Chains A and B, each alone.
Chain A
Amino acid sequence: MTAFVQPDGINTKPLVQARNVHKAYEHLEVLKGIDLDVMSGEVVVILGPSGSGKSTFLRCINHLEAIQKGFIEVDGDQIGYRVKNDRLEKLSANGIAKQRRKIGMVFQQFNLYPHMTVLQNIIEAPVGVHGHNRKEAIETAKGLLQRVGLLEKADNYPRQLSGGQQQRVAIARALAIKPKLMLFDEPTSALDPELVGEVLATMKDLAKQGLTMIVVTHEIGFAREAADRVVFMDGGVIVEQGKPEEVIGNPQHPRTQAFLSRFL
């Protein structure tokens, strides 16, 4: 299988750049100035208590939510905007759709298309959005299914699969568009405990292959094993970040300590 290492590994411009990101819902301030750089091939795990704004931040990265202040750039594109005559201009919905095409996303509730078979789910975006050749897309899809261990389920409908299998299909679907960046929002939270392992194993596999990933999760074990960097968020700001053994093994901030103590 081809690895996901980006060729431009040396001239180190971050793949994702977030600067002073602010986001509010009406009067509720959810993000209060987030700064984060993610390098190509890096796996960043975001930890934090419920309501700290992790999902919101992830959704801002591919502009599912608009931010009110600051900027977010992915692979040189400021998603949702373009520069015209030295001024920033809001893009139309279809313009934003185009920019999103290099970002894959995996949701807590899987969100497979229930009216399509597993194979149709996977080739929908490559064929319909990216204009790939259908035959090749099917071959790629089968390769991806093989990789997540579900090749024999290609012609089943999502409802006929277990939760863990559905989430692995969702991962294969996101990989099928050959994303430069993958976003995971609590991919194992909706799963029964015995199914969590198979999904995490698939994700660790991707991490090893050098795919750039931002993962929101409560799985401390995954963070410790697979993350290059752990970011701890609380109250809409990044409280602490660093190597997993630092942040998880020896947290400096009292709020991080309090949060992690619950997992011991």
Chain B
Amino acid sequence: MSNNITTNAAPSGAADFRDVATAHTPFRTWRLLLWLVIAIVVVDFGWIVANNENFGWPVVAQYFFDPTVIQGLYVSLGLTVVGMILGVIVGLVIAIMRMSSDRLASGFASLFIWFFRGTPLLVQLIFWYNMSTLFPNLSIAIPFGPTLASWDTNSVITPMTAAIVGLALNEAAYMAEIIRGGLISVDRGQAETAEAFGMTKARALWRIIIPQAMRSIVPPTGNQLISMIKATSLVSVIAMADLLYSVQSIYNRTFEIIPMLLVAVLWYLLITSILNIGQNYIEAYYGRSDRRNAGAPKPVAVTEEASH
């Protein structure tokens, strides 16, 4: 009893148990219980899905690496990559036009964004695909003057070009707004400093503004890329043999609809998971100047480590 009182009163004794290094976490019963419930539900659901014959897992396994499916996968990935790259390039141009003080440029950019964001992608794809009904011939000509070259529209707009143009322009409209948001987020003083140092506008944009804007551009672009992969499934309506189209072509023969759709779903999930991981590394790269731990002034080493 008396011992207890002395411990409380003596500052040296008090310091012992007040040192946070000695702190422990009490056992949290409710949390454990919640964990258990969730785990049981998840495992049970997995069990049901795995043992339900209607899912046709053996069929899924059989067709997972089927050449038709892999071919479709390549088409989907190819369309995503090409559409995204073109979308980012056109989007950057549109974003810069939108921010320019030139009325004509910013007006055109607004119109572009308004139209391509305001109409369904599916409709845009069908329009591009059926271009020949609107314009039977495509020609290069001097306005109100002579024609220099002319092509039959159907020979230029294949399902492939219709798909690429449709996806890229639609993507560009969204990317333009994402990029513009990123550029605006950079402190105005940066552009002014670059200007004061005699940089041209293009160089200031490329070296100073865009690298800083990347921090706010990358996360939504990751989103866009993932929705782009899924958006490529829309091109199956214009007879482009993408992943979805190829599993459809198989189940039209075998009538194993659910298993074949599962093949597509698993592939889409796999790709988006890989992209998520990639996005994390890119974000870490553009956030590197944020680390305050001055002890490690070797940013390159950090990113190299991260890529292992």
Residues on A with beta carbons closer than 8 Å to the beta carbon of B197: 100-101, 105, 124-125, 129, 177
Residue contact A160 to B294, C-beta cutoff 8 Å: yes
CB-CB nearest in chain B for A98: B198
Residue contact B199 to A157, C-beta cutoff 8 Å: no
Q: How far is the CB of A84 from chain B (nearest CB, A)?
A: 21
Residues on B with beta carbons closer than 8 Å to the beta carbon of A109: 189
Docked CA distance A117–B288 (Å): 11
Docked CA distance A117–B299 (Å): 9
**Provided the pairs A156-B297, A159-B290 are in contact, do residues A64 and B195 lie with their beta carbons within 8 angstroms?**
yes
| Residues of B in contact, count (CB < 8 Å) | 27
Docked CA distance A125–B299 (Å): 22
Q: Which of A171-194 contact B (CB under 8 A)?
A: 177
Residue contact A128 to B196, C-beta cutoff 8 Å: no
Q: Which of B163-198 contact A (CB under 8 A)?
A: 187, 189-190, 192-193, 195-198
User: Is residue B103 within 8 Å, beta carbon to beta carbon, of the partner chain?
Assistant: no
Residues on B with beta carbons closer than 8 Å to the beta carbon of A97: 195, 198-200
Q: How far is the CB of B241 from chain A (nearest CB, A)?
A: 43
Q: Which of A55-110 contact B (CB under 8 A)?
A: 62, 64, 93-94, 97-101, 103, 105, 107, 109
Residue contact B201 to A93, C-beta cutoff 8 Å: yes
CB-CB nearest in chain B for A102: B198
User: Is residue B254 within 8 Å, beta carbon to beta carbon, of the partner chain?
Assistant: no
Option from B189, B200, B286, B290 in Cβ contact (under 8 Å) with A111: B189
CB-CB nearest in chain B for A126: B197
Q: How far is the CB of A132 from chain B (nearest CB, A)?
A: 13
Among A97, A101, A159, the most chain B Cβ lie within 10 Å of the Cβ of: A97
User: Is residue A113 within 8 Å, beta carbon to beta carbon, of the partner chain?
Assistant: yes
User: Is residue A35 within 8 Å, beta carbon to beta carbon, of the partner chain?
Assistant: no
Docked CA distance A109–B188 (Å): 11
**Provided the pairs A111-B189, A111-B190 are in contact, do residues A125 and B289 lie with their beta carbons within 8 angstroms?**
no
Residue contact A100 to B198, C-beta cutoff 8 Å: yes
Main secondary structure of the interface of B (DSSP, over half): helix
Residues on A with beta carbons closer than 8 Å to the beta carbon of B298: 155
Residue contact A111 to B201, C-beta cutoff 8 Å: no
Option from B187, B198, B292 in Cβ contact (under 8 Å) with A160: B292
Docked CA distance A97–B192 (Å): 12
Docked CA distance A201–B237 (Å): 72
User: Is residue A114 within 8 Å, beta carbon to beta carbon, of the partner chain?
Assistant: yes
Docked CA distance A111–B209 (Å): 12
Docked CA distance A101–B289 (Å): 28
Docked CA distance A143–B288 (Å): 26
Residues on B with beta carbons closer than 8 Å to the beta carbon of A107: 189, 192-193
User: Is residue A115 within 8 Å, beta carbon to beta carbon, of the partner chain?
Assistant: yes
Residues on B with beta carbons closer than 8 Å to the beta carbon of A116: 289
Contact with A along B246-271 (1 / 0, CB 8 A): 00000000000000000000000000
Docked CA distance A93–B193 (Å): 15
**Provided the pairs A93-B200, A159-B289, A160-B292 are in contact, do residues A115 and B212 lie with their beta carbons within 8 angstroms?**
yes
CB-CB nearest in chain B for A93: B201
CB-CB nearest in chain A for B191: A111
Q: How far is the CB of B95 from chain A (nearest CB, A)?
A: 19
CB-CB nearest in chain B for A176: B197
Residues on B with beta carbons closer than 8 Å to the beta carbon of A155: 297-298
Docked CA distance A100–B208 (Å): 18
CB-CB nearest in chain B for A125: B197
Docked CA distance A32–B196 (Å): 24
Docked CA distance A253–B203 (Å): 47
Residues on A with beta carbons closer than 8 Å to the beta carbon of B294: 156, 160
Option from B190, B196, B199 in Cβ contact (under 8 Å) with A105: B196
Docked CA distance A262–B297 (Å): 44
Docked CA distance A216–B131 (Å): 63
**Provided the pairs A93-B200, A93-B201 are in contact, do residues A124 and B207 lie with their beta carbons within 8 angstroms?**
yes
Additional pairs, 15, CB under 8 Å, beyond known A100-B197, A103-B196, A158-B289: A62-B196, A64-B196, A93-B200, A94-B201, A97-B195, A97-B198, A109-B189, A111-B187, A111-B192, A115-B211, A117-B297, A128-B199, A128-B207, A155-B297, A157-B288
Q: Which 5 A-B pairs have the closest CB atoms?
A: A101-B198, A155-B297, A111-B193, A160-B294, A100-B198
Interface residues of A (CB under 8 A from B): 62, 64, 93-94, 97-101, 103, 105, 107, 109, 111, 113-117, 124-125, 128-129, 155-160, 177
Interface residues of B (CB under 8 A from A): 187, 189-190, 192-193, 195-201, 203, 207-208, 211-212, 286, 288-292, 294, 297-299
Q: What are 8 sample pairs from A and B whose C-beta atoms fall under 8 A apart?
A: A64-B195, A93-B201, A101-B198, A113-B208, A114-B212, A115-B286, A129-B198, A160-B297
